[in-house]
């Protein structure tokens, strides 16, 4: 039986050591500062990106991988006899999923590649990839892995706290009216991603502490005492509030596993510095 290998893109914000441990292949998006172009999480690491963004004086942009970028990875893995599960950034946010789908169509008919639209972003689907890779290493079937990915995608709760909606506004990821409101009266927008993979303003609260309390309140009412895994993602150099948020959530939720990760360059390009992402999944109890 062919071994199963996971492929993702750089916006999953999976730490390098985790990708290496689980054998996850990563296709990078590009980050552009004017005429300078970098490979997300390869030639430009998160800390370098936010330092460069602070001194750039403008907005960075991003660009998706080409179908040939995915094709090269799929071809190598399938030629080695692997079965591939490829999970990508929400197709509603980027053409990355489309590039992956086109790449699959370029392969021979017997190449075993399944491409999944995560309908999420950052570690919101990074955790799907990691779970799938862990299952693959444990010997789970491809059908069971794909079923678990879809189950987790429905169970996931995710929220983003952003300092400003200006980056999302200029990147075309959220409406202008919300951006204007978010700039007034110390309003801290709480963002989420809907079932179609589209960013939407979940709520608007005055001040970061109240925004954190609002998220804790919503999650507690939703999850009750169910055991959960909690991941918080933060932009390097802007860790203020992360420990406070983690402790607050641990007081309100039955957190069985907690970890932190970094928001990488491409997600940071659109969300901006100072963004905090939190991702919660119920733990399956057998």
**Rounded mean pLDDT of the chain?**
90
Question: What is the residue-level pLDDT of the chain in tens, covering all 286 positions?
Answer: 569 999 999 999 999 999 999 999 999 999 999 999 999 999 999 999 999 988 887 889 999 999 999 999 999 999 999 999 999 999 999 999 999 999 999 999 889 999 999 999 999 999 999 999 999 999 999 999 999 999 999 999 999 988 777 777 766 656 544 655 555 566 778 889 999 998 888 888 888 889 899 999 999 999 989 999 999 999 887 776 788 889 999 999 999 999 999 999 999 998 888 889 999 999 875 4
Count of CA atoms in the C-beta half-sphere (13 A) of 119: 15
**What is the Cα–Cα distance from 183 to 164, expressed in whole angstroms?**
7
Put simply, whether the predicted model's pTM sits higher than 0.75 gets the answer: yes
Q: Any idea which architecture 157-282 has in CATH?
A: 2-Layer Sandwich (3.30)
Count of CA atoms in the C-beta half-sphere (13 A) of 99: 23
Fold of 4-29+64-155: Rossmann fold (3.40.50)
- Per-domain residue ranges for the chain? 4-29+64-155, 157-282
Residue with tokens 């596993």: 257
Contact at 8 Å (CB) between 153 and 180?
Answer: no
């Amino acid at each position: 039986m062919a071994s199963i290998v996971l492929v993702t893109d750089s916006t999953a914000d999976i730490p390098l050591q985790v990708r290496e441990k689980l054998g996850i292949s990563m296709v990078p998006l590009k980050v552009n500062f004017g005429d300078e172009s970098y490979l997300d999480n390869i030639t430009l690491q998160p800390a370098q990106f936010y330092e460069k963004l602070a001194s750039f004086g403008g907005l960075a942009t991003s660009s998706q991988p080409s179908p040939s970028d995915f094709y090269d990875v799929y071809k190598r893995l399938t030629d080695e006899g692997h079965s591939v599960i490829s999970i990508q950034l929400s197709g509603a946010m980027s053409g990355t999923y489309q590039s992956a789908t086109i790449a699959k169509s370029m392969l021979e008919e017997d190449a075993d590649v399944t491409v999944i639209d995560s309908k999420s972003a950052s570690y919101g689907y990074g955790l799907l990839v990691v779970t799938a890779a862990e299952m693959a290493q444990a010997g789970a079937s491809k059908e069971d892995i794909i079923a678990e990915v879809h189950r987790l995608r429905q169970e996931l709760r995710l929220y983003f706290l952003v300092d400003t909606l200006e980056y999302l506004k200029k990147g075309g990821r959220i409406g202008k009216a919300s951006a204007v409101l978010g700039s007034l009266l110390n309003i801290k927008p709480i963002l989420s991603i809907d079932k179609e993979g589209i960013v939407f303003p979940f709520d608007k609260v005055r001040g970061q502490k109240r925004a954190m309390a609002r998220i804790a309140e919503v999650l507690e009412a939703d999850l009750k005492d169910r055991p959960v895994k909690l991941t918080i993602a933060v932009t390097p150099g802007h860790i203020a509030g992360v420990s406070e948020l983690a402790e607050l959530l641990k007081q309100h939720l039955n957190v069985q596993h907690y970890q932190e990760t970094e928001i990488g360059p491409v997600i940071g390009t659109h969300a901006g510095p100072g963004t905090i992402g939190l991702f919660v999944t119920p733990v399956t109890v057998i």
